[in-house]
Structure 1
Amino acid sequence: MSLADEVRDVFCAEGALSRAAEQFQPRQGQTDMALAVARTIEQGGVLVVEAGTGVGKTFSYLVPALLSGEKVLLSTATKTLQDQLFGRDLPRLVQALGLPVRTALLKGRASYLCIHRMELARQDATLADRQAVRSLARIEEWAHVTRTGDLAELPGLDERSPVIPLVTSTRENCLGAQCPRFRACHVNHARREALASDVVVVNHHLFFADLAVRESGMAELLPTVRVAIFDEAHQLNETGVQFLGVQLGTGQLVDFARDVLGAGLQLARGMCDWQQVAAGVEQAARELRLTAGRTPTGARLRWDGEAPEQVAPRDWDAALDAVSRACDAALEALETVHEVAPDFLRLAERARTLAERADRFVRPCDPASVRWLDVGLQLRLVESPLDIAQAVRTRLLRLPAQGEGEAADPASGRAWIFTSATLGDDARLSWFTEPCGLQDAQVLRVGSPFDYAAQAGLYIPRDFPRPNEPTHSGRVAALAADAVRLLGGRTLVLTTTLRALRTIGDALQVRFGGTDDPEVLVQGQWPKRRLIERFREGSSAGGRGCVLVASASFWEGVDVPGDQLQLVVVDKLPFPPPGDPLVEARSRRLEAQGRSPFGDYHLPEAAVALKQGAGRLIRRESDRGVLVVCDPRLASMPYGRRLLSALPPMRRLEGAPAFQAALAELAATTASTTGLEPSESPG
C-alpha cells in the first residue's frame, strides 16, 4: 500500500483520526492537503500549502509524516506553539496511529537552565533585587527535580525575569566541553535526544540561528532529516533576516561587561583591575547610546551613509572607536588569565567578536543588505539582507542561486513542506514564495470549511475620518466602546501603531472604569500570555467580560474560540510603515527591477496582515462575530477590492443600522446561553 493510500484510510470516517480528534468529521480540504504532503514525501521536492482556518492543517502534515517512517523535522513559529505540538498534538496522533515513534523537543539555549551559570549567579554581587533573589532560589530548587531543564516547565516564572539571562547560556558564553558541568548539560542532553529521535520539533528562531552560525545543534541534525515541515511559515522571511545579518547592541556590551566583572572577581580576583575593564566597556556602550540623543524609543533610523540619520558622523565614529578600544582592552586583560578557567577563553572570544563588529559598522554596508539603527532603552546596530531567498535556495534546498545556470543538487530527494493559514493573496502565493526563494515550488491553496457568510459580518463605517486625521483614533475608541457596552466585552481591538494603541486603550479605560464594567486589557500592561489567558477567561465563572487593545504580534497567533470573542475592530489598513529602512530598501529594489513597490509589496503586505487580523474572529464552526475595519479606503479606493478579496467571504453589513442589528443579535444569543439580559454586565 502506498503512503497516499495509508493516509486516505486514516482520514476516512472510520479511520484512526476519528480516535485522535474529538468530533472528527472527514473534510475534503484536510484530506487533499494530507495527500499532497504524502506525495511530496514519497517523491521529494518542495510543497507550499495555504490552509485556511479550520482545515486542520496540523494533522494534515503530521499523519503522512508519521506514517512515512522517515526522520522528520517540524519547525513552528513560537516556543508556545512548539510546546503545544510536542505536548498535545503529536502524542495524541502517535497513540491513535499505534506507531513506535520517538519524538523530541529542541529549543534554543536561552530556554534551558545552565547549571554552571546558575552556580555563578549565586555569587553575583549585582543580584540585589529581592524579587530576583527569590526567583533564583526557586530555580535552584527546581533544578534538583527537572529532567529537561526547560524553563517553560517552571510555573510562575515570568519570561521577562532579569534572572533568566543569568541562569542560561548563549553561544558566546557557553564553555562547551570545558564546562565543569558539561556532563549534566541540559542543552547537550536535548541535542542527543533530538539526534536519536524520529520526529524533532524545533522553532524558526532556532533553525535560522543555526543556519547563520552553525552552532545550535542543527548542523548535526539536519543532514539526518529527510522530511522538513515548517508550520506558520508566513513568519519565515522576517525571522530569517534577523539571523542572517549582523547586529551589535549596547545591551550586548553591557552583558559582556557584567560577565567579565563577575568571572574576574570570582575566578581571578587581584590578577587584573576587573572593575576598570568592565567600566570601560560600559562607558563605551553608554556613549554609543547617547549618540542617538532624544530620538523617540521604538524608532528605526535610516543608515545610508557614514552614520545613521540624526546622528553626527564625528560623534558616531568616535563612539564606535571607543567601543572597539574598550573591547580590545578587555581582550588584552582576558588573555593574561586565559589559563585560569575556561570562562576567560569564551570571554576573550566575545571581546574579539564585539570589536570586529564595531569595526565592521565603520565600513560601508554590503550592497545586497540594508543598515539601520534601532533606538530603545538600548541601541541596536543592524545590517540585514532584504530577504532569505538566496539562503534558502543555496543553503537549504541546495539549488543554484537566481540567475545561475548550474544544475541543482538533488539534495538526496528531501521533502520540504511549508504551510500556514495565510501565505499571500494571489494564486502563486508570491508574497511568501518570492522572498523565500520558492518560486518553483508546487503550490496548493485549501479554503476554510467555515460558512463565513452565515458566521460573520464585515462592517466598514463610511463616515469615518481618514486614518491620518487626528480624530481617527478617538472615533475608533468611541465605536468600540459602544459595542463593548452592548456585548459586555468580547472585543479585540487591533491597532497598526503604538500611538493608536495608547490613545484607544486610554480612552476605553476611562470609559470603563467601574467595578462592574467590562475589563479593559491593554498590550504592555501584562505579559502577552497572561493577557490572552485573561481574555479567554472573559465572563466565564462569574467574571467580567474583557476588551483587549493590542498591536503588532497580537494580529496573529491569538486563538480565542467561543463566545469570549465576538467582535474584532481593526483601526486602519495595515500597510508597511513607510519610513522603515527595510521597507524602503525593498521598495527601491522593486523600482530598480521595473516593478511597482505599491502593487508588488505594500499591497500584498497589507492584504496578508489584514487577513491575519481577521482570522482572530472565527476559530470554529460554532463561532459567530463581526469584523469592523475603521478605514474608509477599504470601500472607496480601487485597491480596496484586492484587499476585500483577501478576506474571508463574510457578509457585508451596509450602514450603521445593520451593524447595530448584528451586535444586538450577538448579544441576544450570548444572553440566551448565559442567562443575562443583553445589556447586563456579567460582573
Structure 2
Amino acid sequence: MTRSTPRGTHDPMSPTAAAPPEPPDVDHHDYDDSDTHAAGETIVRRNPDEADTSARQSLADLLGRLGWEGRDAQSVMAGAVARSLAAKQHLLVEAPTGTGKSLAYLVPAAEQARATGAPVVVVTATKALQQQVLDADSPLLARLWPDLEIRLMKGRGNYACLSRVQAIADGTEETLFDEVVDPHVWGELLSWTDTTDTGDRADAPDGVTNAMWSKVSVGPKECVGAKNCQFAQQCFAEKAGIAARDADIVVTNSHLYLLDAAIGGSDETDDSDGKDSLPWSPILPPHRDVIVDEAHKLAETASRVFGVEIRHGRGKTIKGVCKGLVKDEQLDGVVAADDRLLAELLSFTETGPVDPSVGNLNIALDDYLLAVRSVAKKVSGIVVAVTQPKDAEKKKRALNVLGGAIEDLAAVLRAGEDEDNDDVVWVEGDGRRKPVLKMAPVDVGPLLDRYVFSRRTVAMCSATMTVGGDFNAAAEELGLTAGTWDSVSVPSPFDHANNGLLYIPMGRNKPLTRADGTVLPAVEALVPGPNATDFRDRANDLTLRMIEAAEGRALLLFTSWKALNDTTEWLRDRVPYTVLAQGDKPTGRLLAEFMADEQSVLCMTATGWEGISAPGPSCSLVVIDRIPFPRRDDPLINAQRELATKNRRSDFHSVDVPKAARMLAQGVGRLIRTVSDTGVVAVLDTRLGTKRSYNGTLLGSLPPFKRSIHLDEEVLPFLRAIAEDRRDKVPPIGTPTAVETVDDDDAFDGIDEAA
C-alpha cells in the first residue's frame, strides 16, 4: 500500500506536505512517571499453558464467589485469551451472545496485568460498552482482586477544556455557531464547567448539542499540551490520563485506540532476550497486550481514523481561535474559502467518488489550503514575550488547529495527484445535511498490521467474527499475517434449535415428509424476489399476518429508510399496537418504550441491526426485509470491489457476501438474548433459500435455528403459542409441539425466486 502515513501524523517528505510551523504536542502527560511503566521497559513473559489453566481457575473461583453457574464456553474463551497474550499470538474469537465474554476476557486481562506488571488495554466499539465494563464488570472483578485498578480513558474531545472556556469568557475567542443554539442551555454549559469535578460530557447539562460542546472542548490535534497550558494542573483530560497510568486494565474505545496507534508510529522492539519491551504510546499508557471487543467493527473504524473528513465550518473555527492574532480580513478569507468549497461540494447531487486533482474542486481545495497556510505563516511569525504565557498558549493552539486543517487538505490533494495512491476520495451527502468530503484507505489491513499487530499482541472477539464459520475473511480484512494468529469459536449457551425458527417465505414444489412421518404440503412462495414490483406490498401483507399472530412483540429491520418509512405508515393504519419507528425519537427512548409496551412494534434501520437488545417478552418476532448487501453506489466499497477484481478474486464473494453475512447475523441475533427467549426470525428475501452460490455462506453465519418455509403449518402456530404463554404469564419452554424439526437440506430445496 502506498499510503503509509494516516491522518493524525505529519509526513514531512511529501511534496505537498503541510509542514505546519509548530506541530502539535502528542504527549500531553507532563508529569513524573517514574513509578509507572515507560516505553522500552521490559516485562517477563508467561508460560502459555500455565496462563490458560490459571485463567480458567480464576474464572471458576470468581463465578463461585458470585454464586453463578459456570459455562464451558466462557471457560474456553478465558483460557484462549490468556494463552494468546502469554504466547504473543494474535487471537480471533467468535463468542455468541450469552457467552459472558466480558468476564471471559477481563479475567485473563487482570491475570496478565498482575503477572507482568504492565497494563492491558481493553478496546470497545462504543462508549456505552466502555461504561458497562467500568460500572457492571469492574465491581465483579473486585470480588476476586480487591486492589485491581480499572480505568476509563476517553478521547480528549470528551472533556471540557478550561483554557478554551476561559478564552470565551475573556473574549479572546469568538463562538461562531453554524446553527441556532439555546442560549439558556449554552449558559448552563458554561456555568457547569466552573463546578464539575470530571469535565466529562456524559455529566454535562441536558440539551447540550454537538455544536455547543465543540466550542468548549478540543481534539488531540488542537490541544497545546500540558507543558504549554496554564490549566495543566486542573485539566480534566490530564487527570484521567494520569489515573490511567497506574491502572491494571485501561478501557478505551476503538477510535481513540487507533488514533493512539497511528500517532505512536510503527517502532519495532527487540524481544530476543525472552522479555517483552513496552512500545511507546502517546495517549494511552505504554502497553503490550490488547483485547478488542466487537472486533468486527475494527476495520470500519480504522477507515475513519486513517482517513480524512473535511466538513464545512472549520473556517469559522479557525477564525475563532485566531482572533486577535491575525487581521479579520485575512481570517474572513479563510471563511470565504470554506464557503466556496461547500458550494462546490453542493454541486455534486449524489454521493460518489471525485477526483480532487482536477476541475473546480481542485481549485476550491487549493484556494482553501493557500488561505489557511497564509494565516499559519502570519501566526508562526508572531513573537510572544516569555512573560505572556496566555498569549503563547493561544498561539500554540491556533497553530495546532491550522496544522490540522493544512494536513487534511494537503492529504486530499495528494490523493488526487499520486497515481499509485490507494485512497478513495468521495463526496457524501443525502440532501438533508451539508455534504462532506471524505477520504479513506481502500484496504486498512496493511495499516493495522503496521501500527497495531506488528507492535502488540491483540485478542479480538465478537459474536459475528466468522463468515460461514470461517475466520479467514476477518483475518484478511484486518491485515493479519498467516501464522501470527489463532482462532476459537465457542458454542452458544442458547438452545436456538428448540427456542426459535428461521422462516423464509419461499416455495417448495413437492410435499415434505418429516422424520416422524408427518407430511407437509407443497407451498408457493408468499413473497417474490426483492426486486419485483410487488415485493413491498406482499412483504407488508406477510409481516402483518405474523405481527397479528405474535400480538405485536415485533422488531422490524430494514435496509433503507424508504422501506422503513413506507412500512411504518402502512402498519399504523392496520394494527392495534403502537408502532415505533427510528427517527421519531432518540434510539434510547424508542428502546425503553418498546421494552415497556410488551405488544408494541419497533421499526429500525442502520443502528437497529446491532444496537437493539430487547430480552424477554417484548420481542418474539424479528422481521428482516432484505439480505443486507452493501450498496452498489458506496464509493469506498466500490473501490474495495475494484481491488478484489484487480487481485483476480470475485468482488461479490470477496466483498459483498462477507459484509452481508456479518450484518445479517447481527440482525438475526436480535431475537434470542437470554436462555428463555423464544420466537421467529423471518427473512423475507427468498434469495437466502434459493441462491446456491452464496446462501450456504449466509446460512452458515447464522445461529442454528430450525428452519421453515411453511407459514400456516409452523410459523403462525408457533407465534400464537408464544403469545398465549405471554398472556398467561408463563415463560414458554422449548418449542410448542405444533412445530417440528425441519430438515436443513430439504427445507430450502424450493422453487426459484420470482425475480
TM-score normalised by L of structure 1: 0.85
**Number of the residue aligned with 1:97:** 144
User: How far off is 1:510 after superposition?
Assistant: 4.5
**Number of the residue aligned with 1:547:** 601
SS at match of 1:86: helix
- Give the partner amino acid of 2:302: G
In structure 1, which of residues 224, 227, 230 is the aligned counterpart of residue 286 of structure 2? 224
- Give the partner amino acid of 1:138: E
- Give the partner amino acid of 1:67: E
* Cα distance in structure 2, aligned partners of 1:520 and 1:118: 44
Determine if the alignment matches structure 1 residue 290 to structure 2 residue 343. yes
Whose helix fraction is larger, Structure 1's or Structure 2's?
A: 1
In structure 1, which of residues 315, 324, 327 is the aligned counterpart of residue 360 of structure 2? 315
**Number of the residue aligned with 2:93:** 49
Q: Which runs of 5+ in 2 are unaligned?
A: 1-48, 266-278, 385-390, 507-525, 732-755
Structure 1, residues 216-250: CA drift from partner, whole Å, max 9, x if none? x98246673232111111111110111113x2413
Task: Please say if residues 468 and 697 of structure 2, whose CA atoms lie closer than 8 Å, have aligned partners that are also in contact.
Answer: no
**Number of the residue aligned with 2:566:** 503
SS at match of 2:700: helix
Structure 1 538/330 Cα, relative in aligned 2: closer, same or farther at 3 Å? farther
Q: Which runs of 5+ in 1 are unaligned?
A: 308-312, 399-410, 540-544, 676-683
Which piece of structure 1 moves more, 45-54 or 329-338? 329-338
* Cα distance in structure 2, aligned partners of 1:233 and 1:553: 16
Determine if the alignment matches structure 1 residue 147 to structure 2 residue 197. yes
Structure 1, residues 110-138: CA drift from partner, whole Å, max 9, x if none? 21121222334455564698863322333
SS at match of 2:611: coil
In structure 2, which of residues 668, 672, 696 is the aligned counterpart of residue 641 of structure 1? 696
Structure 1, residues 335-385: CA drift from partner, whole Å, max 9, x if none? 465634522333234334434543443442553222222225333333322
Task: Please say if residues 260 and 283 of structure 2, whose CA atoms lie closer than 8 Å, have aligned partners that are also in contact.
Answer: no
* Cα distance in structure 2, aligned partners of 1:218 and 1:469: 56
* Cα distance in structure 2, aligned partners of 1:18 and 1:144: 46
- Give the partner amino acid of 1:358: L
Q: 1:639-678 alignment to 2 at 5 Å?
A: 639-657=694-712, 658-673=714-729
**Number of the residue aligned with 2:300:** 238
- Give the partner amino acid of 1:75: V
* Cα distance in structure 1, aligned partners of 2:320 and 2:210: 21
Structure 1 348/66 Cα, relative in aligned 2: closer, same or farther at 3 Å? closer
Task: Please say if residues 207 and 218 of structure 1, whose CA atoms lie closer than 8 Å, have aligned partners that are also in contact.
Answer: no
* Cα distance in structure 2, aligned partners of 1:570 and 1:62: 34
**Number of the residue aligned with 2:444:** 388
- Give the partner amino acid of 2:502: L
SS at match of 2:532: coil
Determine if the alignment matches structure 1 residue 171 to structure 2 residue 233. no
**Number of the residue aligned with 2:614:** 560
Which piece of structure 1 moves more, 373-382 or 47-56? 373-382
**Number of the residue aligned with 1:605:** 659
Which piece of structure 1 moves more, 363-372 or 647-656? 363-372
SS at match of 1:418: strand
Task: Please say if residues 412 and 425 of structure 2, whose CA atoms lie closer than 8 Å, have aligned partners that are also in contact.
Answer: no
Task: Please say if residues 484 and 518 of structure 1, whose CA atoms lie closer than 8 Å, have aligned partners that are also in contact.
Answer: no
**Number of the residue aligned with 1:524:** 583
Task: Please say if residues 431 and 605 of structure 1, whose CA atoms lie closer than 8 Å, have aligned partners that are also in contact.
Answer: no
Structure 1 250/9 Cα, relative in aligned 2: closer, same or farther at 3 Å? closer
Structure 1, residues 266-300: CA drift from partner, whole Å, max 9, x if none? xx2xx7542x444333332222222244655xx53
Task: Please say if residues 615 and 673 of structure 2, whose CA atoms lie closer than 8 Å, have aligned partners that are also in contact.
Answer: yes
Task: Please say if residues 523 and 549 of structure 1, whose CA atoms lie closer than 8 Å, have aligned partners that are also in contact.
Answer: yes
* Cα distance in structure 2, aligned partners of 1:561 and 1:338: 63
* Cα distance in structure 2, aligned partners of 1:129 and 1:293: 18
* Cα distance in structure 1, aligned partners of 2:412 and 2:192: 43
Structure 1 106/349 Cα, relative in aligned 2: closer, same or farther at 3 Å? closer
Structure 1, residues 314-337: CA drift from partner, whole Å, max 9, x if none? 322332233123323433554465
User: How far off is 1:610 after superposition?
Assistant: 0.6
**Number of the residue aligned with 1:183:** 233
* Cα distance in structure 1, aligned partners of 2:126 and 2:285: 23
Task: Please say if residues 569 and 628 of structure 1, whose CA atoms lie closer than 8 Å, have aligned partners that are also in contact.
Answer: yes
- Give the partner amino acid of 2:592: E
Structure 1 437/161 Cα, relative in aligned 2: closer, same or farther at 3 Å? closer
**Number of the residue aligned with 2:126:** 78
Aligned sequence identity (%): 29
* Cα distance in structure 2, aligned partners of 1:295 and 1:592: 28
Structure 1 35/258 Cα, relative in aligned 2: closer, same or farther at 3 Å? closer
- Give the partner amino acid of 1:116: S
Determine if the alignment matches structure 1 residue 624 to structure 2 residue 678. yes
SS at match of 1:435: helix
**Number of the residue aligned with 2:104:** 60
Q: 1:414-429 alignment to 2 at 5 Å?
A: 415-429=457-471
SS at match of 1:395: helix
SS at match of 2:211: coil
Q: How many residues in Structure 1 have an aligned counterpart in Structure 2?
A: 628
SS at match of 2:622: strand
Determine if the alignment matches structure 1 residue 116 to structure 2 residue 136. no
Task: Please say if residues 370 and 581 of structure 1, whose CA atoms lie closer than 8 Å, have aligned partners that are also in contact.
Answer: yes
**Number of the residue aligned with 1:402:** none
**Number of the residue aligned with 1:404:** none
Determine if the alignment matches structure 1 residue 199 to structure 2 residue 249. yes
- Give the partner amino acid of 2:695: G
User: How far off is 1:483 after superposition?
Assistant: 3.6
User: How far off is 1:614 after superposition?
Assistant: 0.6
Which piece of structure 1 moves more, 350-359 or 547-556? 350-359
Q: Aligned Cα RMSD in Å?
A: 2.8
- Give the partner amino acid of 1:17: L
Task: Please say if residues 561 and 623 of structure 1, whose CA atoms lie closer than 8 Å, have aligned partners that are also in contact.
Answer: yes
- Give the partner amino acid of 1:196: D
- Give the partner amino acid of 1:8: R
Task: Please say if residues 122 and 293 of structure 2, whose CA atoms lie closer than 8 Å, have aligned partners that are also in contact.
Answer: yes
* Cα distance in structure 2, aligned partners of 1:374 and 1:130: 24
Structure 1 212/471 Cα, relative in aligned 2: closer, same or farther at 3 Å? farther
In structure 2, which of residues 375, 397, 417 is the aligned counterpart of residue 364 of structure 1? 417
Structure 1, residues 26-64: CA drift from partner, whole Å, max 9, x if none? 221111111112222332221111111211111111112
* Cα distance in structure 1, aligned partners of 2:161 and 2:187: 15
In structure 2, which of residues 352, 367, 383 is the aligned counterpart of residue 301 of structure 1? 352
SS at match of 1:521: strand
- Give the partner amino acid of 1:546: S
* Cα distance in structure 1, aligned partners of 2:179 and 2:641: 47
* Cα distance in structure 1, aligned partners of 2:685 and 2:649: 27
* Cα distance in structure 2, aligned partners of 1:96 and 1:470: 60
* Cα distance in structure 2, aligned partners of 1:320 and 1:131: 30
Task: Please say if residues 122 and 292 of structure 2, whose CA atoms lie closer than 8 Å, have aligned partners that are also in contact.
Answer: yes
- Give the partner amino acid of 2:229: C
TM-score normalised by L of structure 2: 0.77
- Give the partner amino acid of 1:506: E
Structure 1, residues 644-670: CA drift from partner, whole Å, max 9, x if none? 222111122322212221221121111
* Cα distance in structure 2, aligned partners of 1:574 and 1:596: 18
In structure 2, which of residues 524, 549, 554 is the aligned counterpart of residue 491 of structure 1? 554
In structure 2, which of residues 643, 650, 656 is the aligned counterpart of residue 589 of structure 1? 643
Structure 1, residues 474-527: CA drift from partner, whole Å, max 9, x if none? 443443344444544322111112222232233334446xxxx43322222333
- Give the partner amino acid of 1:535: F
Task: Please say if residues 120 and 250 of structure 2, whose CA atoms lie closer than 8 Å, have aligned partners that are also in contact.
Answer: yes
SS at match of 2:417: coil
Structure 1 36/314 Cα, relative in aligned 2: closer, same or farther at 3 Å? closer
- Give the partner amino acid of 2:451: R
**Number of the residue aligned with 2:276:** none
**Number of the residue aligned with 1:374:** 428
* Cα distance in structure 1, aligned partners of 2:580 and 2:383: 51
**Number of the residue aligned with 1:542:** none
